[in-house]
Amino acid sequence: MDHHLLHELEHLLGHDGVLSRPEDLLLYEYDGSVEIARPQCVVFPAKTADVVRIVELSNRYKTPIVGRGAGTGLSGGALAREGGIVVSFARMNRILEIDIENHRAVVQPGVVNADLSLAVAHAGLHFAPDPSSQRACTIGGNVSENAGGPHTLAYGVTTNHVLGLEMVMPTGELVRIGGKAADAPGYDLCGLFVGSEGTLALVTEVTVRLTRLPEAVKTLLAVYDRVDDATETVVEITARGITPAACEMLDGWTLRAVEAWVHAGFPLDSAAVLLIEVDGLREAAEEHAAQIAEVCRLHGAREVRVACDEKERDLLWKGRKNAFGAVGRLSPTYYVQDGVIPRTKLPETLREIDRIGKENGFEIGNIFHAGDGNLHPIILFDARDSKQFQRAVSTAEEIIRFCIKMGGAITGEHGVGMEKDRLMPFLFSEADIALMKRVRDEFNPAGLLNPGKIFPTGKGCGEVRVRSQRNGAETDSTHEESSPA
């Protein structure tokens, strides 16, 4: 990195606001994906004016710049694919305003998702989007990736709860769009920027909608001896026009991994469970819970439990939301996928995932948002074996391409990032991609903001450095893959 740029960054933020030593940068070459890309420095702005100045320096020195929240993303979106500056928003973590009367809050991007709900719980409110990583992920990262979560089946994803944004554009200009009003006139620019994966602007402030907590919640656990019975239940619930607040599925392998760690009460001898939640007015919640229990039994559920109190409900959700951590105890590495299919295609797709896993020699666990067809197959592998790594990447791609064949998409909530850019041509035409690039280039003309993301570059997971032990020393080996385009 240009030492003049580094000096100016240190002058702006202080020595404790800039990391540049190799040992300090190790943490920031990772996120929750299998990707690796090391920045040349990491900076920690404390206020919006700092971000403006950082972007101005990035432009002057023609250095790439990448925003980063908590690093929990699963597509490499917060990694510095082309080096340069990573802007960590860890110090911009204040809740600036809570407007109880109008159900609004204004927060900095580094506010942890769950902390906002905790801050307004006394008023009977919460921030509805609830990614599994909600105790760690930040609202700025949620905005960048348009994060979802189990309860977005009924409540919607992040974009449905963002009303306004303050942003620093790639040119250094500070702009505000939207606000506290429910429906701002003109183009829906918030809808454009939410989910743009950090390629259009750096978000420095977010105005969000708060949602009233429901009067009643019913949480059901349906236990099955056959995976197909569980998936057919989801199809039937959809056909009956019932929309639960959440509808999650864990297959037998995954629930056993979870139970060994969390002890959530999942039956170890079952092939699958559905974790279903309904909420709303007390009478409606009870009626919908009864209807869902009936559907579950009609489709072969051997048991349908209803959580008897908040403690039992919290334990069941602890099992669901800590599932990835549970799997991490059993495998050196795992690769979480994020395909989307129509709900009616669930039985066929899970059978195909099982076939693909066996054909390629991998154990694949399944835990996912069954209610909206957002799959998260977990491929267990050892990243120290470069051939196994390449086979895992190929297996993941085969699964996602099957999702497309079923009428689905390559991502539901994790984003494209640098993980799935090479798959974009399987979903979009050349004209589609060209139009999206024109939008990006209009806002990010120099291409310095989060370069190498979303659009095909001819690289992908194959460029990831796989760490291995050779002669007692750690080395990096790089694997190249060609783009399917």
pLDDT at 462: 45
pLDDT at 59: 98
pLDDT at 475: 37
pLDDT at 465: 39
CA separation, residue 6 to residues 9, 42, 169, 214, 264 (Å): 5, 10, 21, 50, 49
Give the residue extent of every domain in the chain. Answer: 3-88, 95-212, 216-327, 331-434
Q: Are 105 and 208 in contact (CB under 8 A)?
A: yes
Identical fold between 3-88 and 95-212: no
- The reply to whether CATH 3.40.50.880 applies to domain 3-88 is no
- The reply to whether CATH 3.30.70.2190 applies to domain 216-327 is yes
Q: Rounded to the nearest 10 degrees, what angle do helices 282-298 and 227-239 cross at?
A: 130
pLDDT at 37: 97
Burial of 83 (0-12, 13-18, 19+ CB in 10 A): middle
Burial of 227 (0-12, 13-18, 19+ CB in 10 A): buried
- Strands 202-209 and 364-368, by their bridges, are unpaired
Instruction: Give dist(CA 368, CA 339) in Å, integer.
Output: 10
Token pair 């349908």 is found at 304
pLDDT at 185: 86
Token pair 């989007």 is found at 129
pLDDT at 459: 61
Class of domain 95-212: alpha beta
Phi, psi of 15 (to 5 degrees): -65, -30
Instruction: Give dist(CA 82, CA 174) in Å, integer.
Output: 25
Instruction: Give dist(CA 272, CA 231) in Å, integer.
Output: 9
Instruction: Give dist(CA 205, CA 465) in Å, integer.
Output: 34
Q: Are 251 and 365 in contact (CB under 8 A)?
A: yes
The residues near 308 (Cβ < 8 Å, ≥ 6 apart) are none
CB half-sphere exposure, 477, CA atoms < 13 A? 14
Residue 56, phi-psi category: left (phi > 0), alpha (psi -120 to 50), beta (remainder): alpha
Residue 103, phi-psi category: left (phi > 0), alpha (psi -120 to 50), beta (remainder): left
pLDDT at 88: 98
Supply the DSSP string of 225-282, one letter for each residue.
Answer: S-HHHHHHHHHHHHHTT---SEEEEEEHHHHHHHHHHH-----TT-SEEEEEEEEESH
Amino acid at 353: I
Which tokens hold the place of 156?
């919607």
CB atoms within 10 A of CB 328: 16
Which is nearest to 376 in space by CA: 407, 403, 355, 358? 403
Give the pLDDT of the chain (485 residues) as one tens digit per residue.
899 999 999 999 999 999 999 999 999 999 999 999 999 999 999 999 999 999 999 999 999 999 999 999 999 999 999 999 999 999 999 999 999 999 999 999 999 999 999 999 999 999 999 999 999 999 999 999 999 999 999 999 999 999 999 999 999 999 999 999 888 789 999 999 999 999 999 999 999 999 999 999 999 999 999 999 999 999 999 999 999 999 999 999 999 999 999 999 999 999 999 999 999 999 999 999 999 999 999 999 999 999 999 999 999 999 999 998 899 899 989 999 999 999 999 999 999 999 999 999 999 999 999 999 999 999 999 999 999 999 999 999 999 999 999 999 999 999 999 999 999 999 999 999 999 999 999 999 999 999 999 999 866 554 443 333 323 333 333 333 333 33
Is pTM beyond 0.85? Reply is yes
H runs (alpha helix) in 111-170 = 113-120, 139-145, 152-155
Looking only at Cα atoms, what is the longest distance across the chain? Answer: 70
- The reply to whether CATH 2.40.110.10 applies to domain 331-434 is no
Token pair 């919607």 is found at 156
Sign of the four-CA dihedral 8, 12, 15, 17: negative
- Long-range contact list for 439-442, CB < 8 A, 24+ apart? 439/192, 439/200, 440/196, 440/199, 440/200
Supply the DSSP symbol for 365.
E
Residue 26, phi-psi category: left (phi > 0), alpha (psi -120 to 50), beta (remainder): alpha
